[in-house]
Amino acid sequence: MFDGFEVARCEGDGAHLRVRHGGSGPPVLLLHGHPRTHATWHRVAPLLAAAGHTVVCPDLRGYGASDKPPTDERHTPYSKRAMAGDCLAVMRRLGHDRFAVVGHDRGAYVATRLALDHPESVSALTVMDAIPIGEALRRCDATFAASWWHWFFLGQTEKPAERLINADPDAWYLGSAEQMGAEAYEDYRRAIHDPATVHGMCEDYRAGLGVDREHDEADRQAGRRIACPLQVLWATGDDMADLYGDVPGVWRDWAGDRLEGGPIESGHHIAEDAPEALVGALRAFWRSSAPHGAP
């Protein structure tokens, strides 16, 4: 995986992250979703590096081989604000003060929070298979609850999900070497068989139901918007269009002057299923956003 890339352990903002980075040129930060590690990008990152980008792929705090800080009653150490702070610190330590960000699934929430909290650092934002957490919970109905019930299962504290998941992680977390690639699959399996990682991933969801929603709601009420160009992508094999219809339209109240996007023919894990199509969409977006300071 990641031929020509380096692996480092970088200090974030309260947690050390495992980081894979390589290439040269305008920097791009790739943020994975649940329950993946940074290895989910192993088919995308080399293509971006070959196209002239510096590519940085961390394991988010709580995930993979990154730190799992102690939590608190409100789960704030696993808020997307805390995760975004890690990512910003890592990018600065690697010498990147302004960069494009691409986030998938839970990583999309971290990417969004990074763009909202640190607009001076994010040149362009791509979110995949996600709308803001606050929007998802505000719009939650029976269809959402039936399809995305894992949000509420993983977010429980009195009957914690960890006990059930750790009894048979392979039965809970589906994946295969054929889909993910052999090395990426082994990295993923090491993560899901680590009880500390399972706990960290659950904490991510607990924060999502509480403090993350509060942060999003405060931004919504204040009319805070994403300052950089915004691209919204979603997999045709996922249920985003079924849940929300006009997916970019959900983002319209959050976006600035530049909002675009569309579907990609893929299953949920776009970086694994359709890497070439994804890279093509990203590069087209960055080219069209270049006058606005994007890479």
What values do phi and psi take at 214, rounded to 5? -60, -45
Q: Determine the Cα–Cα distance for residues 203 and 76; give it in Å rounded to an integer.
A: 9
Q: Angle, nearest 10°, between helix axes 211-222 and 195-209?
A: 40
Strand partners, 17: 10
- Answer yes or no: 238 catalytic: no
Catalytic residue among 105, 187, 204, 219: 105
Q: Note whether 42 and 14 are within 8 A (CB).
A: no
Verify whether residue 269 is a known catalytic residue. no
Indicate which residue of 117, 118, 194, 268 is catalytic: 268
Q: How far apart are CA 138 and CA 253, in angstroms?
A: 14
Active site (catalytic) residues: 105, 268
